[in-house]
Amino acid sequence: MSSALLVTALACFALGGLVDLIFGVERTAIRVITYLLATAGSASLTVLGVTATVSRASSIDLFDVFGFRHSALHVDRLSGLFLTLLFGIAVAVSCCFMSWARPSDREHRRGLASGYLLLLGSVAVIICASDAFTFLFAWETLTISFYVLTAVSRSQRRQAGAAWSTVSMGKVSGAALLVGFLLLAGRTGSLTIASWHAVGPGAVHDVAWVLIVVGFGAKIGLVPFQVWIPVGYPAAPGPARAAMAGIAANVGVYGLWRFLGVLGRPPVWLAIAVLLAGGVTALIGITFAGVQSRLGKVIAYSSIENAGLIVTAYGVALSGAIVHSAPLVALGLLAATLQTVAHAIAKSALFVSLANVEAAVGTDELDELRGVGRRLRWSGATFGIGALTLAGLPPTIGFVSEWFILEALMQEFRLPGLALRLGLAAAGALVALTTGLAALAFLRVLGLAFLGGKRAGSSHGRLSETGVLGKVGLTILGVGCLALAAGSPWEIRYIARGLSSIVSESTTLQALKSPWVLQPVFHGFSILSPSWMWVVMPIVFSGVLLLAIVLSRGRYLRVRRVRSWHSATAGVSGPSAYSAFGFANPLRHVLGNILGTRRSTTLVVTTPEDDGLPFVNVETHTTVVEPIETYLYRPVRTMTLAAARMAKRLQSGRLNAYVAYMLIALLIALGVTAALR
């Protein structure tokens, strides 16, 4: 059955890609068929994931189908866990894609559907790969799909640079994994990933660990490899951004989980580096998300923040592996997996909603989207739920996952070494600051863009909402953010089975104090019941509302009209209205050292038409600087281009010069060989 489900899914993806490339995008039916095949294939892989997670592992021998020498794919419980998560989301995204691709008045490009299907197929093979060749082949194919999705639309000049940035970082990721895999395969003499467990402590083990973290960290956006995300995600059209951020990027998380089970205990300094890198990544991501003026950039930088949170919790698991504490490993992996679930489903909800907003309004500028949530109710409601999830607010799954992360970081007193304790404490401080800034960042988007009043002078009238299938996809994603929180005890049971190849299921299930109450694995530390919050919170809110109405003698619901204060209050319109840019100014000032805030002030003199006295206004322009890109990658780029210009002079076109180069290289090689002997 497993082989049939996998073959069916890959066949659907391949057939859909061929339909897109052969028949093009001129006909609506053809465009819809490609995404219908994506939905069918994703549903098959979701069923495969559930089957593998709840039952025992199984190898899939595809010799008769694809001509492999032996079984190249293997589905165990960890693979099943990620297949369930990622392709359950892919079903919803594919439904939204079908609805988004139906209107003929939009710009449709051949290759978009095939790039999306290539992405889904690559993700499936990566998760099921059991040997290095298959894994790396699918990994490079995933990089190609990223390039196709970011380069397929040529409406803006910056998209070419975004596509090259995306593929360049993908090649860095692939190169790190290739070298790491070669080291492990060379030591064991086998390309089978499971056999690398035999590599013992030593230099090869430690170097391979570093390369694994770099390779998978670059895919999810760990500092300093995060620079491609703010330009890569917004460059992709429509719901393709949801596929990149909510589905494909999480294969990096899967890789980190898989190799923790394979390589075991990492070096102490690497665990500390992972903790600090995760905390810094989360802080940088949410800080820059809070000051962006485009909604696509806000969501993209939020992906960096969530990558930092996931990696920080993963660092807790690494610390537990170092001190041989199974409960700490279970707590770290459980917190990180819950955050992965929250990020995957909420980020998909945000990007799908953004695709509908852009299709209806034509822009993603925050100050141009005033009140769009009131006019696009399905997209607005889904976006609001996803934003609350990523802000870590109850009653969403994001609140549960961030609660577990903070509780995991508070366990530093259980570690024997001072270095690990300080690492967890520093990461905890960074994560605590990040969670507060996340609420601020998404409050700005929800309050001033989606729920705000309609912008004065706006030409947007009645906006068309997505179709029926799009609403189905939005409902799956939006309800999922809430339902997973209400049913979090069941979710933890499912995750515990998926993680059983790394840490025992019984250890992870210690997070359940009772069938409906959660605790951070360790007994007596603290408890939480997201399920009961769904009962208690409505009762409390209803009681407070009823009490307010009674005490006010019915005046609480009466509309009162007063003169508005000339500031951010409702009733102020025009240039004096509070904008999303103005809301973020305090953040630009307080965190100016991180943002590299730069300000310039100019005087603008306006002369009225009736020859009255001129008005003098002071305009302040504020910009922020991406520190990693500005101070790391730009100097490297400058030096690389300078070296290329110098090397170009050597290409004289004269044969005798090239012979001389070869002679010099031969002499150098002989000299080095003699010195080594």
For 550-585, the pLDDT digits (tens) are: 888 777 777 666 655 545 445 555 555 666 666 677
pLDDT for the residue 453: 65
Q: Is the pLDDT of residue 229 over 50?
A: yes
Residue 248 backbone dihedrals phi, psi, to 5 degrees: -70, -40
Taking the C-alpha atoms of residue 566 and residue 558, their distance in angstroms, rounded to an integer, is 23
- Segment 593-608 shows an average pLDDT of 70
Residue 154: the pLDDT is 67
CA angle 638, 218, 341 (to 5 degrees): 145
Q: What CA–CA distance (Å, rounded) separates 113 from 143?
A: 16
What was the pLDDT predicted at 340?
95
Structure confidence at residue 465 (pLDDT): 76
Going by C-beta distance under 8 Å and a sequence separation of 6 or more, which residues neighbour residue 140? 174
CA 353 to chain centre: 16
- Please give the DSSP secondary-structure letter assigned to residue 656: H
Asked whether 333 and 81 are in contact (CB, 8 A), the reply is: no
Is the pLDDT higher at 632 or at 71? 632
Q: For position 452, what pLDDT does the model report?
A: 67
Strand partners, 129: 73
Closest to 79 (Cα-Cα) out of 235, 303, 229, 255: 255
pLDDT at 205: 92
242, two tokens: 């949801």
What does the pLDDT read at residue 369?
81
Per-residue pLDDT, 152: 83
For residues 677 and 367, the model is more confident at: 367
Q: Is the peptide bond before 224 cis (omega within 30 degrees of 0)?
A: yes
SS3 annotation, 393-457: CCCCHHHHHHHHHHHHHHHHHHCCCHHHHHHHHHHHHHHHHHHHHHHHHHHHHHHHHHCCCCCCC
With beta carbons less than 8 A apart as the criterion, state whether 594 and 283 touch: yes
In whole angstroms, give the CA distance from residue 630 to residue 664.
Answer: 38
Looking at residues 249-277, what average pLDDT do you find? 93
| Single-letter amino acid code for the residue at 488 | S
CA 596 vs. chain centroid, Å, equals: 24
For residue 69, with 0-12 CB atoms within 10 Å meaning exposed, 13-18 middle and 19 or more buried, which class applies? exposed
267, two tokens: 């070096």
Say what the pLDDT of residue 400 is. Answer: 93
Contacts of 326 (CB under 8 A, 6+ apart): 320, 503, 504, 507
Q: If you write DSSP's letter for every residue of 209-237 in order, what string do you get?
A: HHHHHHHHHHHHT-TTSGGGHHHHHHHS-
Examine the pLDDT at 455 and tell me if it is beyond 60.
no
Higher pLDDT, 141 or 572: 141
Q: Report, as an integer, the average pLDDT of 17-42.
A: 87
Amino acid found at 451: L
Residue-level pLDDT at 446:
84
Q: Is pLDDT above 80 for 121?
A: yes
SS (H, E, C) 91-153: HHHHHHHHHHHCCCCCCCCCCHHHHHHHHHHHHHHHHHECEHHHHHHHHHHHHHHHHHHHHCC
Distance CA 96, CA 354 (A): 12
At 458 the pLDDT is 52
Position 39 pLDDT exceeds 90: yes
Burial class (CB in 10 A: 0-12, 13-18, 19+), 595: buried
Comparing 557 with 40, the larger pLDDT belongs to 40
Res 580: pLDDT: 67
Return mean pLDDT, the chain: 85
Give the pair of three-digit tokens for residue 20.
Answer: 């897109």
pLDDT of residue 244: 93
Contacts of 66 (CB under 8 A, 6+ apart): none
Does residue 334 have a pLDDT over 70? Answer: yes
Q: Which of 52, 51, 70, 53 is nearest to 61 (CA)?
A: 70
Examine the pLDDT at 456 and tell me if it is beyond 50: no
What digits encode the pLDDT tens for the residues 63-90?
544 554 555 788 889 999 999 999 999 9
User: The dihedral of CA 357, 361, 366, 367: what is its sign?
Assistant: negative
The model carries a pTM of 0.89
Q: Tell me the pLDDT tens digit for each residue of 637-657.
A: 888 888 888 877 777 677 778
Among 129-133, 535-539, 616-620, the least confident range? 616-620
* pLDDT tens track for 161-181: 788 888 889 999 999 999 999
110 conformational bin, left if phi > 0, alpha if psi -120 to 50, beta if neither: beta
Residue 9 reports pLDDT greater than 60: yes
Domain boundaries, the chain: 1-252, 265-554, 628-676
pLDDT tens readout for residues 520-539: 988 888 888 888 888 888 89
Q: In whole angstroms, give the CA distance from residue 232 to residue 213.
A: 21
Q: Are 248 and 220 in contact (CB under 8 A)?
A: no
Q: In whole angstroms, what is the distance from residue 385 CA to residue 626 CA?
A: 29
Using a pLDDT cut of 90, give the percent of the chain over it. Answer: 43
Mean pLDDT (whole number) for 485-507: 92
pLDDT digits (tens, 9 = 90+) for 405-436: 999 999 888 888 888 999 999 999 999 999 98
> Both tokens of residue 614?
């001129």
- Report CA 571 to chain centroid distance, whole Å: 37
3-state class (DSSP) for residue 73: strand
